[in-house]
């Protein structure tokens, strides 16, 4: 099969090499999936660089999620799954940037019929992360104000849609004017361009000085510090990632004085700690997709040949929504 493998760590454009290798076979509890579409995530970039918390042995095929057809099942897995169109998380080193990927059978779900392959591929990580951040961790309520950082990105676009579906007023922060259009089209009530505008002042003005009830932060560093200046009384800041490259320290005296909560989110951990909640979330996401309330934004679709350059664009922070590989 064809696959994009990382043989030497580095920037995606250098690290991803197109190779012909044997298609992997599923082990006990696993399925092999013929990939219809794979979605890119920022952790794929970090894995190419060797900077993610998960460091597969070289060589490995990255790609943590996909939509595809089950073509083989391992020991202990029902044959009835064969032929089903599913979305799921992969088992590295056999990721989804390949014609065939391996997935734990416990982590595959029927692909929503309302979504095409690339959209379905982008449903799992981004929308599950958004849903667990907003609902399970922050308990967002209708009418609350949600501030979303990196709002035109993969998890950010999901957070905008899920915030609107939850009845929140959404303020989205982006880094450029084209991204402003993306966030507005997804339903954000107010969009802030962080390169020319001050999100703290805009959040305060929009909320009559109260601040945002929930802040979704995949960026960290200075963005986190500024977020603490516009968090509401009893607000919740959800720590989702550190795309700024800086893992910030937290001033707990400030959290005490202003009565706000700082919540960590590691969505992947729910897959082992509470798999039933992940399944229930997927049911909810499927129903939101089927009713048209969420549609993963797939901005680019690529073949193997153009995928390394596309992944480099993701690394450079210039993409919007999700990129999809169609093997
Ligand atoms: N906690 C979890 O369970 C979980 C799950 C999935 C993903 N994540 C994390 O979520 C983050 C976003 O992932 P993604 O796949 O959605 O990628 P992404 O949105 O493309 O993330 C990159 C975006 O961050 C923004 N950004 C803001 N300040 C930045 C800065 N100083 N330097 C670089 N970028 C900056 C940029 O958008 P603007 O220029 O428009 O601001 C950039 O496009 C990653 O850190 C990922 O690891 C966490």
State which of 317, 320, 321, 324 you would mutate to test the pocket of ligand 1, scoring each by most atoms of that ligand within 8 A of its C-beta: 317
Whether the CB of 89 sits within 6 Å of ligand 1: no
Assigned architecture for domain 2-123+296-325: Alpha-Beta Complex (3.90)
Nearest to 284 by CA among 96, 101, 141, 136: 136
**pLDDT score for 60:** 97
Atom of ligand 1 nearest to the CA of 173: 41
- Average pLDDT for 191-198: 98
Q: Which residue(s) pair with 65 in the sheet?
A: 39, 89
Atom of ligand 1 nearest to the CA of 222: 31
**Residues 16, 42: Cα–Cα separation, whole Å:** 15
> Which CA distances in Å does 88 have to 34, 49, 120, 157, 274?
12, 24, 10, 20, 16
- Average pLDDT for 194-210: 98
- Of the listed ranges 202-206, 207-211, 318-322, the least confidently predicted one is 318-322
Q: Ligand 1 center to residue 267 CA distance, Å?
A: 15
**pLDDT score for 309:** 98
| Dihedral sign for Cα atoms in the order 142, 282, 91, 137 | positive
Whether the CB of 327 sits within 6 Å of ligand 1: no
Residue nearest ligand 1's atom 30 by CA: 244
**pLDDT score for 292:** 95
Domains 2-123+296-325 and 132-268 share a fold: no
Residue 310, pLDDT > 90, answer yes
Whether the CB of 42 sits within 6 Å of ligand 1: yes
State which of 41, 65, 150, 180 you would mutate to test the pocket of ligand 1, scoring each by most atoms of that ligand within 8 A of its C-beta: 150
Residue nearest ligand 1's atom 32 by CA: 244
Residue 180, pLDDT > 90, answer yes
Residue nearest ligand 1's atom 13 by CA: 42
Residue 48 pLDDT class (50, 70, 90 cuts): very high
Residue 262, pLDDT > 90, answer yes
Homologous superfamily in CATH for domain 132-268 = NAD(P)-binding Rossmann-like Domain (3.40.50.720)
**pLDDT score for 53:** 85
The number of angstroms, rounded, from the C-alpha of 130 to the middle of its chain's C-alpha atoms is 8
The residue that leads in pLDDT, 53 or 100, is 100
Q: Where are the domains of the chain?
A: 2-123+296-325, 132-268
**pLDDT score for 18:** 98
- Average pLDDT for 206-215: 98
**Residues 48, 99: Cα–Cα separation, whole Å:** 19
Question: Per this entry, what is the length of the chain?
Answer: 327
Average pLDDT of the chain to the nearest whole number: 97
Percent of the chain, pLDDT > 90?
98
Other Cβ atoms less than 10 A from the Cβ of 251: the count is 12
The CA-to-CA distance between both ends of the chain, in Å, stands at 10
User: What pLDDT, in 10s, does the model give residues 105-149?
Assistant: 999 999 999 999 999 999 999 999 999 999 999 999 999 999 999
> Which CA distances in Å does 189 have to 163, 261, 272?
11, 24, 36
Residue 54 pLDDT class (50, 70, 90 cuts): confident
Whether the CB of 153 sits within 6 Å of ligand 1: yes
Whether the CB of 174 sits within 6 Å of ligand 1: yes
With contact defined as beta carbons under 8 Å apart, do 134 and 215 qualify?
Answer: no
Query: Which helix (H) or strand (E) is 109 found in, with range?
Result: strand 108-110
Residue nearest ligand 1's atom 45 by CA: 241
Whether the CB of 243 sits within 6 Å of ligand 1: yes
Q: What is the pTM of this model?
A: 0.95
Residue nearest ligand 1's atom 5 by CA: 129
Q: Ligand 1 center to residue 154 CA distance, Å?
A: 7
Percent of the chain, pLDDT > 70?
100
With contact defined as beta carbons under 8 Å apart, do 324 and 39 qualify?
Answer: yes
Peptide bond into 59 cis (omega under 30): yes
**pLDDT score for 79:** 96
Q: Ligand 1 center to residue 148 CA distance, Å?
A: 11
User: What pLDDT, in 10s, does the model give residues 80-111?
Assistant: 999 999 999 999 999 999 999 999 999 999 99
**pLDDT score for 19:** 98
State which of 41, 192, 243, 319 you would mutate to test the pocket of ligand 1, scoring each by most atoms of that ligand within 8 A of its C-beta: 243
């Amino acid at each position: 099969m064809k696959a994009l493998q990382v043989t030497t760590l580095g920037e995606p454009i250098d690290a991803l090499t197109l190779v012909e290798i044997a298609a992997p076979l599923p082990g006990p509890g696993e399925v092999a999936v013929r990939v219809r579409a794979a979605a890119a995530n920022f952790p794929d970039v970090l894995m190419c660089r060797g900077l993610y918390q998960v460091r597969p042995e070289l060589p490995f095929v990255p790609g943590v999620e996909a939509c595809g057809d089950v073509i083989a099942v391992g020991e202990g897995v029902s044959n009835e799954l064969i032929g089903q169109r599913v979305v799921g998380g992969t088992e590295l080193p056999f990721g989804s940037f390949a014609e065939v990927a391996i997935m734990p059978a416990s982590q595959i779900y029927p692909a929503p019929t309302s979504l095409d392959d690339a959209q379905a591929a982008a449903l799992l990580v981004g929308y599950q992360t958004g849903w667990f951040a907003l609902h399970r961790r922050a308990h967002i309520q209708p009418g609350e104000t949600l501030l979303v950082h990196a709002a035109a990105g993969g998890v950010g676009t999901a957070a905008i849609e899920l915030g609107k579906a939850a009845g929140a007023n959404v303020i989205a922060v982006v880094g450029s004017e084209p991204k402003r259009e993306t966030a507005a089209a997804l339903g954000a009530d107010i969009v802030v361009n962080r390169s020319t505008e001050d999100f703290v002042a805009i959040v305060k003005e929009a909320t009559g000085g109260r601040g945002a009830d929930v802040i979704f932060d995949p960026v960290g560093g200075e963005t986190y510090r500024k977020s603490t200046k516009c968090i509401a009384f009893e607000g919740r800041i959800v720590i989702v990632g550190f795309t700024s490259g800086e893992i910030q320290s937290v001033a707990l005296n400030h959290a005490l004085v202003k009565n706000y909560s700082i919540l960590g989110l590691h969505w992947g951990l729910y897959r082992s700690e509470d798999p039933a909640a992940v399944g229930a979330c997927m049911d909810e996401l499927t129903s939101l997709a089927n009713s048209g309330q969420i549609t993963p934004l797939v901005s680019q679709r690529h073949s193997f040949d153009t995928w390394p350059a596309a992944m480099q664009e993701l690394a450079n922070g210039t993409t919007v929504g999700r990129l999809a590989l169609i093997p």
